[in-house]
Amino acid sequence: MTVRLDALRAEYLAGLRTFLEHGDEAALTYAYELGRRALNDGLGLLDMAAIHRAALDALVLGVALDERQRFMEAVTAFFNELLAPFEMSIEGYRAALTASEERFELAVRGATAGLWDWRPQTDEVYFSPHFKRIMGYEDDELPNERQALLNAIHPDDFGRVTEALQTHLERRTTYDVEYRVRTKAGEFRWVQSRGQALWRDAGEAYRMVGWIVDITDRKRDEEALRVSREELRRLSAHIQHIREEEKARIARELHDDLGQQLTALKMAASLLEYQGNEVPSSTPPTDALNGMYALIDQLLDSVRRIAADLHPAMLDDLGLIPAIDALIDEFSARYRMRVVRHIDVHAITFNRECRIEVFRMVQEALTNVARHSGATEVVFEMVRDDPHCIVRIADNGRGAAHNDRPGRHSFGLLGMRERAALLGGEIRISTSPGSGFALTAILPLTAVEARDELSELSESSKPARSATSRRDD
Ligand SMILES: Nc1ncnc2c1ncn2[C@@H]1O[C@H](COP(=O)(O)OP(=O)(O)O)[C@@H](O)[C@H]1O
Ligand SMILES: [Mg+2]
């Protein structure tokens, strides 16, 4: 810098001398050129004043008294040329600043967002007119003071807002919070507030600018949607519950009532046979009687099967795992499919309430395997993985293109999700065409595990054949 300044000082002095001797335009152009170079080199106006002062010192003594006036006018003209580039650049800067300020002004006035601008060190704050309007105030009704806003934030949201602000200033995390503000009328409105601070090199924030938008309507819609979803879920759970109860009742009646009557019919028929032996003339043909017995047996079988399909009595009598075991046995035999079982029998004692839900999930998953997969092998897992119970049914079939949105008529998976949600859990599916279909139910143990001894007793009667981990071919 000093070298450049020294060179410039010498050049300026020489240029000024030439100008004083010849007074021509070219010398003035030279002064302008020197000024432009100085500006480009990052020199300032004070440097220019020093250069000029040095030139005056060097020249002024040689000027006759009566020449002084003309001399001063000439050097001032020369100096003005040196300064011209600086002046122009300041002008340009001013124009750009004005344009930018106008743009900001327009943006603030036209914005649907309410803008705020805060200096953390002095706590000076600016709220745009629209900011105040969101809070129900005219521009002159709410002071540009941070406390005015802090007083209006809902007490339940206050901690969250200040914490978000603090972490933004300290750790530069995104500042994006939703909170309620009390309006002039006294009601609360939801706003979303976003902002961005500017930091000095030392790390402290010196300014933060942001905006708020009124999201009250969105919040209201979200809440209405949440409530309606909740109601639908409760309704669906209620319908499922009634359906299961109804099925269980019909199953019981079929089994007990119809079953008993059929047994009675069989006894009556055999009585007929016995009496017939005493009166040989009216003996009914044995073939006909045998046919009747067979028919009654078939009927009894059908009744038992239909009853079991409606509601597996085993579920109530023996518990979840024996019922699932029997279900898998039947599935494996009916569809000639190998099922590999990993059942952590002693790891979980299931409560009564969850039995039907878990059983139906497994039943639907197996039905899907039979219906859609074309698989040759299924792996069934039921394990404890604190704090969850994991039930997994995976086949080696054709799989499916993964689609998060189930089809309009696919109620199987939807039902499973509902049942899982009812227990506070979820269903995850992992599949792709050609690589099998794996369905996992992740259920919180708190919802499926028995808490009191009574349910434990009812579940403890597990069949001896369930090993901790077993392969069935
Ligand atoms: N094990 C599986 N293998 C291949 N595709 C399956 C399997 N399970 C389910 N899917 C696919 O997911 C779809 C939805 O299943 P689901 O909701 O039970 O409806 P549905 O069985 O009535 O078609 C099925 O139509 C099928 O395309
Ligand atoms: Mg299905």
- pLDDT per residue over 440-473, tens digit each? 999 999 999 988 655 445 444 444 444 344 444 4
User: From the alpha carbon of 407, which atom of ligand 1 is closest?
Assistant: 14
Collapsed DSSP state (helix, strand, coil) of residue 320? helix
Closest CA to 427 of 361, 340, 376: 361
Mutational pocket test of ligand 1: of 368, 379, 398, 416, the residue with most ligand atoms within 8 Å of the beta carbon: 368
Two tokens, residue 8:
């410039």
Q: Specify the residue with its C-alpha closest to ligand 1, atom 14.
A: 410
pLDDT in tens, the chain (473 residues): 577 888 999 999 999 999 998 888 888 999 999 999 999 988 989 999 999 999 999 998 888 888 888 899 999 999 999 999 998 888 888 888 888 888 877 777 777 789 999 999 899 999 998 999 999 999 999 999 999 999 999 999 999 999 999 999 999 999 999 999 999 999 999 999 999 999 988 888 999 999 999 999 999 999 999 999 999 989 988 998 999 999 999 998 998 899 889 988 888 888 877 665 555 545 556 777 888 888 899 999 999 889 988 998 889 889 999 999 999 999 999 999 999 999 987 888 999 989 999 999 999 999 999 999 999 999 999 999 999 999 999 999 999 987 656 666 778 999 999 999 999 999 999 999 999 999 999 999 999 998 865 544 544 444 444 434 444 44
Closest ligand to residue 433's CA:
1
- DSSP letters for 141-209: TS-SBHHHHHTTB-HHHHHHHHHHHHHHHHH---EEEEEEEE-TTS-EEEEEEEEEEEE-TTS-EEEEE
Tell me which amino acid residue 5 is. L
User: Is 351 a pocket residue for ligand 1 (Cβ < 6 Å)?
Assistant: no
Query: What are the DSSP E strand ranges found in 83-148?
Result: 114-119, 124-127
Closest CA to 339 of 293, 387, 375: 375
Distance from the CA of 419 to the center of ligand 2, in angstroms? 14
pLDDT at res. 67? 87
- Is the CA virtual torsion 359, 361, 364, 370 positive or negative? negative
As beta bridge partners, residue 389 has 384, 443
By CB atoms closer than 10 A (0-12, 13-18, 19+), residue 18 is middle
**Cα–Cα dist 349/325, whole Å:** 15
User: From the alpha carbon of 369, which atom of ligand 1 is closest?
Assistant: 1
| Contact present, 435 and 397 (Cβ < 8 Å) | no
Residue 433 CA neighbour count, 13 Å, CB half: 2
Collapsed DSSP state (helix, strand, coil) of residue 449? strand
Closest ligand to residue 367's CA:
2
Tell me which amino acid residue 58 is. A
Distance from the CA of 185 to the center of ligand 2, in angstroms? 55
As beta bridge partners, residue 193 has 177, 212
User: Is 195 a pocket residue for ligand 1 (Cβ < 6 Å)?
Assistant: no
User: From the alpha carbon of 364, which atom of ligand 1 is closest?
Assistant: 18
User: Is 397 a pocket residue for ligand 1 (Cβ < 6 Å)?
Assistant: yes
Collapsed DSSP state (helix, strand, coil) of residue 383? strand
By CB atoms closer than 10 A (0-12, 13-18, 19+), residue 147 is exposed
Report CA-CA distances (Å) from 430 to 73, 157, 244, 272, 399.
90, 40, 29, 62, 9
For 22, the enclosing helix (H) or strand (E) is: helix 2-22
| Topology (CATH) of 111-214 | Beta-Lactamase (3.30.450)
Distance from the CA of 372 to the center of ligand 1, in angstroms? 6
pLDDT at res. 473? 43
Distance from the CA of 324 to the center of ligand 2, in angstroms? 18
User: Is 429 a pocket residue for ligand 1 (Cβ < 6 Å)?
Assistant: no
Distance from the CA of 411 to the center of ligand 2, in angstroms? 7
Tell me which amino acid residue 147 is. Q
| Contact present, 400 and 367 (Cβ < 8 Å) | no
Measured at the alpha carbon of residue 351, what is the angle toward residues 345 and 355, in degrees to the nearest 5? Answer: 80
Q: Specify the residue with its C-alpha closest to ligand 1, atom 3.
A: 373
Length of the chain: 473
| Domain assignments of the chain as residue spans, ordered by start | 2-108, 111-214, 220-297, 314-471
| Contact present, 190 and 179 (Cβ < 8 Å) | yes
User: Is 374 a pocket residue for ligand 1 (Cβ < 6 Å)?
Assistant: no
- Angle of the 352-368 helix axis to the 411-422 helix axis, nearest 10: 160
pLDDT at res. 91? 86
Q: Specify the residue with its C-alpha closest to ligand 1, atom 1.
A: 369
**Cα–Cα dist 295/109, whole Å:** 89
> Which CATH number does 314-471 carry?
3.30.565.10
Report the DSSP pairing between strands 377-385 and 338-343.
Answer: parallel
